[in-house]
Structure 1
Amino acid sequence: MPNEAAALAFAERGVRVGAVRPAPSVHGVGDHGFVPRLLDLARERGVSAYVGDGANRRPAVHRLDAARLYRLALESAPAGSRLHGVDDEGVPFRDIAAAIGRHLNLPVTAVPAAEAGAHFGRLGGLVGRDIPASSALTRKLLDRRPEQRGLFADLDEGHYFGRGAARV
């Protein structure tokens, strides 16, 4: 990341700077990103889909755990740190699609990679990617542990589907 490298170069000049990389899927009450878009697509298309065999992994982090990581980075991360905000490290995309299908009472189906753009629209180039990520080094450095529920527990909470208590 060119901007990240430029920012981290300031650490060499005594500026306390670091980089936080949240997971591509940041979930929780108030989420307006990846998961809600998948829900909208499933409702529009009448199926909850994944690309290919769906084994590609999507790391995820609860938004409150991500916020806590930013706070910890400001308070105690060494200058020049590269921190990863990942709690669910390797969630297979087909499992996300299955959870959405179960909650929306929709069939779950595979979409060939060549048709991902047609089915998922602007997300087509992203949903089939395997994005392995770990926060093991960040957890060790900052003694950080997830405090919030994981992606599937969050989906089961119901707020994404208009059910359940809207907890923050």
Structure 2
Amino acid sequence: MDVMVQEAAQAGDDTVVLRPTMIYGYGGSEQLPMMLRASLRDGVSRYLGRGLNRYGNVYLDDLADAYLLALEHAPAGSVYNLATDECDFRRIAEAIAKLFGFGGAVSATEEEFAQALGPLPAAGLGSNSRVDSTRARTELGWAPQGPPLLDELVHGSYRRIWGPKGITVTPGQSTA
């Protein structure tokens, strides 16, 4: 897809590729709600193996700022990776466990992780997703200001939206 966008730029179209990492904020994203739902459903927050795999992340408002800056300043055909920080998955799982009041996160085997999240999401979340956003910062003047991922999970919008509301979750209990 990136190549098609760059080829379009060579043909005269004003195109830019933006590659955000794990997007978070306002209680949503693609990956985090999947992990949150699995944790609520099972009464446990999991990470794969030792949980040392690292994932870049970007706050939603900072991503929006990058899009605006790219519209205003990016040369056609440019490619930008977007991450404000990165975090290992064990710390993300621990923050989810803290959010839900679990005793802590637990290590899972590949099979357990895939069973909890599904094979494809588990493969993606069990790997590293590290990017360098220096180019976006220097060429576009991108200066992310959003809260760090773990703070947002434990104290921010995820606490307001996903946090305890007088519901007690027991492992194996359905939350539907």
* 2:18 corresponds to which of 5, 17, 20: 20
**Secondary structure of the equivalent of 1:84?**
strand
Paired residue for 1:53? 50
Match of 2:166 in 1: none
Q: Which runs of 4+ in 1 moved over 4 A?
A: none
Map of 1:33 onto structure 2? 30
Correspondence for 1:152 among 135, 150, 153: 150
Q: Which of 92, 99, 105 is the matching residue for 1:103?
A: 99
Output the TM-score relative to the length of structure 2: 0.84
Distance 1:30 1:110 in 2: 24
Q: What letter matches 1:151 in structure 2?
A: L
Query: 1:103-122 to 2 correspondence within 5 Å?
Result: 103-106=99-102, 107-122=104-119
Provide the residue aligned with 2:6 in structure 1.
Answer: 8
Tell me how large the CA RMSD over aligned residues is.
1.8
Percent of residue pairs identical: 30
Q: Which whole-Å CA distance do the structure 1 matches of 2:69 and 2:34 have between them?
A: 30
- AA aligned to 1:45 is D
- The more displaced of 117-126 and 57-66 is 117-126
Greater length-normalized contact order (CA 8 Å, ≥ 6 residues apart): 2
CA contact (8 A) 1:36 1:160 kept: no
Question: TM-score, with normalisation over the residues of structure 1?
Answer: 0.87
Gaps of 5+ in 2: 162-176
- Partner secondary structure for residue 31 of structure 1: coil
